[in-house]
Amino acid sequence: MSTIFKKFLFRLLQMLWSQIFPKHIEVDLEHKHVQNCIVLAHRLELLNRLPKGSTVAELGVEHGLFSKEILERCQPAELVLVDTWPDVRIKETCIANTQMSDNVFLQQTTSVIYLKTQSENSLDWVYIDTDHTYKTTKEELEAAAKAVKPGGFICGHDYTSISYSGLRRYGVVEAVNEFCVQYGYEFIYLTSETTRHVSYALRKL
pLDDT tens for each residue of 65-83? 999 999 999 999 999 999 9
pTM exceeding the 0.85 threshold for the entire prediction: yes
**64 domain residue, yes or no:** yes
Instruction: Supply the pLDDT for residue 164.
Output: 65
What pLDDT, in 10s, does the model give residues 136-180? 999 999 999 999 999 999 999 999 987 766 567 899 999 999 999
Residues in Cβ contact with 31 at an 8 Å cutoff, skipping those fewer than 6 apart: none
Cβ 203 vs Cβ 185: under 8 Å: yes
Asked if residue 6 belongs to a domain, the reply is no
- C-alpha angle with apex 167: 191 to 3, nearest 5 degrees? 95
Please report whether residue 4 resides in a domain.
no
CATH code of 146's domain: 3.40.50.150
C-beta of residue 51 within 8 angstroms of C-beta of residue 201: no
Euclidean distance between CA atoms 168 and 148, whole angstroms: 30
The answer to whether the CB of 158 falls within 8 A of the CB of 132 is: yes
Predicted local confidence at residue 14, as pLDDT: 66
Domain membership of residue 12 (yes or no) is no
The whole-number average pLDDT for the span 193-200 is: 93
Residue 195, pLDDT above cutoff 90 = no
Stretch 110-133: mean pLDDT: 97
DSSP type of residue 164: T
Q: Where are the alpha helices (DSSP H) in the chain?
A: 3-20, 43-49, 65-74, 88-98, 111-116, 134-147, 172-183
Classify residue 19: in a domain, yes or no. no
For the stretch 125-141, pLDDT in tens is: 999 999 999 999 999 99
Confidence of residue 1 (pLDDT cuts 50, 70, 90): low
Q: Look at the chain and report how many structural domains it folds into.
A: 1
Lowest mean pLDDT segment, chosen from 8-17, 43-52, 111-120, 166-175:
8-17
The answer to the question of residue 52 being in a domain is yes
Domain that holds residue 182: 25-204
On whether residue 167 sits in a domain, the answer given is yes
pLDDT band with cut points at 50, 70 and 90 for residue 4 = confident
Determine, yes or no, domain membership for 136.
Answer: yes
**Confidence (pLDDT) at 19:** 67
Cβ contacts of 160-165, under 8 Å, gap ≥ 24: 160/196, 160/197, 160/198, 163/132
User: What element of type H or E holds 190?
Assistant: strand 185-191
Residue 31: predicted pLDDT = 98
32-62 pLDDT tens trace: 999 999 999 999 999 999 999 999 999 999 9
